[in-house]
Structure 1
Amino acid sequence: MATNELVVTVGDVVEKLAGATIQHGDLNDRIYLMEMSSEASAKQVIHAIEELAQTNNYGKIFIKTPKSKQDAFLHSGYEIEASVPGFYRGLEDALFMVKYLDADRRELENPELVQEIIDVSQDKDTVEAQGLPVKHTLRELGVDDTKAMAQIYGQVFPTYPFPISDPVYLIKVMNDFVRSFGVFDEHNNLVSLAACEIDRKGLNVEMTDFATMPDFRGQGFAHELLHFMEEAMSKDGIKTAYTIARSRSFGMNITFSKAGYEFAGMLKNNTNISGSIQSMNVWYKHI
């Protein structure tokens, strides 16, 4: 099957295959079907990605698809791990579906802790934004900020599914589908940031790439960024916000629950982040 390479990431590649956009490689040891064109045949896509997975001996296939296209995947042995209502334009649900090619990949490490984090997070009451500390500011980031952004990402994340520690990559996505926001201290140093990965056609946004320098943690910057980003996305006509958070992070799961997000499911052993393959929790909110 002919492919057209789009973006080479650290260890993985993003490319077109059978009318679908996929990411695959050894870093995450998986294929991630990110989007199918409206003309793509689900059966042809399944055949192509499974052939690619066998060729490269990947452990997992992970897909995001409109609910209306689920039947072909269900009939091919895919399972639903998460579901976001009204994901596409506020009208159609999105399903996060998987097929495990390595049986060990479906086994959770420390499932009691993972479930405790979900339970603790869901028990939290919704909290409004409290404001930043004195002399701190929050604004949208631009091309001139990408060097500082990359430095923070490189310090915070030993590994990440996309090369966010590369300023060239940050500029590329910033010029395409990403808006980033950051908190600055009293000396105008960037100390915390996050990004909005926007699907303008589907009117949804992934709230992602949250990172805070160690000396500035515990001050609620992620919560403030999330609130600010939601307002910006709502003004931009976006209807649904979601995140894919590390399942073993109390902080990030609690942040989204306290901001009014609903738990949508867990993606087992899905993403290489912070030095290992980790399970990820999906949270969503209509904004």
Structure 2
Amino acid sequence: MTLLKNKMIETNNEHIIVDEPNKRVIFYQYEADLLQKRLEEVEAMKDKNIVDKVSLYATEENLQEIEEVAEATEMNLKFEGKIDGYFDGEDAFIYSQFLDPTREVCKHKQQQEKIISSAIKKGSIDEIPQLQEEFDLRAARHRDVIEMADVFRQVFKTYPTPMHEPKYIKKVMDDNTIFTLVTYEDKIVSIASADINSKYNNAEITDCATLPEFRGNGLLTHIIANLEERLIEREVPNLFSLTRAQSIGMNHVIAKHGYDYRGTLVQNCDISGSFEDMNIWVKQLEL
């Protein structure tokens, strides 16, 4: 079983994904004995222009193994951040290698650092204000997928996953992703999801989209609070969110909910037509 042929390997001991739209390979779980072989397969994909970023999620326990393999293969690994509790309570340390040197450049570093600082300075809020009466909040249903896809099309020119396709949204709903949305006059105007990873007992707050004319109403604040309530019901405590590093609004919204900043993934995924840096924010829910 090779990465080039299968694009994903998921066994008891390995969990590796080839993410072609974002030209990256992510190693979530791997065997030390096979890691060097897998990295050689990635090199072959680089030659075919399939991938130019490799990310490894490491537990504290296997950090030394990664260092040894990196030395043996002459990998230039860079620590980008960590996700607290990612592996069912164990922290994930994210190390990346950039196979294309242009991809490791953080183009807007100074601006992004100001956004992070302002989000942290504002801090979390004790109480969420009541949703304005002209809006309604509810869980998404299968019959919403066509309208949801249309919202994603309007908000994002490109997106790391095919959220503009109704069939894909239905698929992820069936695969343990929960969506909450806000409607105005029975039309969907804001959406976000919690992508639940049952294997690792974590959830990513993601797919946040609000139609431009409805921004500034705090809709995502209410949606995220609702998603967290639903995750508590499902006993999923380990949360994280990857926010666009240049988005003042999203970084402030997520910090408002008590998430802590843990690093920045440089040129991590294709959003609105180009690779963007993504900030890591984490939170532990009390069950």
TM-score when scaled to structure 1?
0.88
Q: What CA deviation, in whole Å up to 9, does each residue of 1:39-67 have, x standing for no partner?
A: 98434433333333344363211233433
Q: Counterpart of 1:162 in 2: which secondary structure?
A: coil
CA distance in 2, matches of 1:210, 1:38: 34
Q: Residues 93 and 188 (structure 1 numbering): CA distance in 2 closer, same or farther, change over 3 Å?
A: same
Q: Counterpart of 2:200 in 1: which secondary structure?
A: coil
> Aligned residue for 1:202?
200
Letter in 2 for 1:22: I
CA distance in 1, matches of 2:229, 2:30: 29
> Aligned residue for 2:23?
29
Q: Which is richer in helix?
A: 2
> Aligned residue for 1:219?
217
> Aligned residue for 1:10?
none
- Mapping for residues 216-255 of structure 1, pairs under 5 Å: 216-255=214-253
The answer to which of 195-204 and 60-69 deviates more is 60-69
Q: Residues 65 and 172 (structure 1 numbering): CA distance in 2 closer, same or farther, change over 3 Å?
A: farther
Whether contact under 8 Å (1:196, 1:208) holds in the other structure is: yes
Query: How many residues are matched?
Result: 276
- Mapping for residues 1-287 of structure 1, pairs under 5 Å: 1-2=1-2, 15-16=8-9, 19-25=14-20, 27-33=21-27, 35-36=28-29, 41-56=34-49, 58-75=51-68, 76=70, 77=75, 78-90=77-89, 92-127=90-125, 128-185=127-184, 187-287=185-285
Q: Residues 40 and 88 (structure 1 numbering): CA distance in 2 closer, same or farther, change over 3 Å?
A: farther
CA distance in 1, matches of 2:135, 2:33: 48
CA distance in 1, matches of 2:104, 2:218: 33
CA distance in 1, matches of 2:248, 2:128: 19
Whether contact under 8 Å (1:4, 1:16) holds in the other structure is: no
Whether contact under 8 Å (2:240, 2:282) holds in the other structure is: yes
Deviation at 1:83, TM superposition (A): 0.8
Deviation at 1:72, TM superposition (A): 3.2
Whether contact under 8 Å (1:53, 1:61) holds in the other structure is: no
The answer to which of 65-74 and 79-88 deviates more is 65-74
Q: What CA deviation, in whole Å up to 9, does each residue of 1:90-138 have, x standing for no partner?
A: 2x11122200111221111122101111111110131132121113211
Letter in 2 for 1:164: M
TM-score when scaled to structure 2?
0.88
Q: What CA deviation, in whole Å up to 9, does each residue of 1:172-215 have, x standing for no partner?
A: 11111211110111x21111000111011211100000001111
Deviation at 1:160, TM superposition (A): 0.6
Whether contact under 8 Å (2:16, 2:25) holds in the other structure is: no
Q: Residues 56 and 70 (structure 1 numbering): CA distance in 2 closer, same or farther, change over 3 Å?
A: farther
Whether contact under 8 Å (1:150, 1:166) holds in the other structure is: yes
CA distance in 1, matches of 2:33, 2:235: 27
- In percent, how many aligned pairs have the same letter? 28
Letter in 2 for 1:81: E
Q: Residues 20 and 120 (structure 1 numbering): CA distance in 2 closer, same or farther, change over 3 Å?
A: same
CA distance in 2, matches of 1:140, 1:40: 44
Q: Counterpart of 2:116 in 1: which secondary structure?
A: helix
Deviation at 1:161, TM superposition (A): 0.8
CA distance in 2, matches of 1:5, 1:215: 44
Deviation at 1:4, TM superposition (A): 9.4
Structure 1: gaps spanning 5 or more residues = 7-13
Root-mean-square deviation (CA), in Å? 2.2
CA distance in 1, matches of 2:219, 2:154: 17
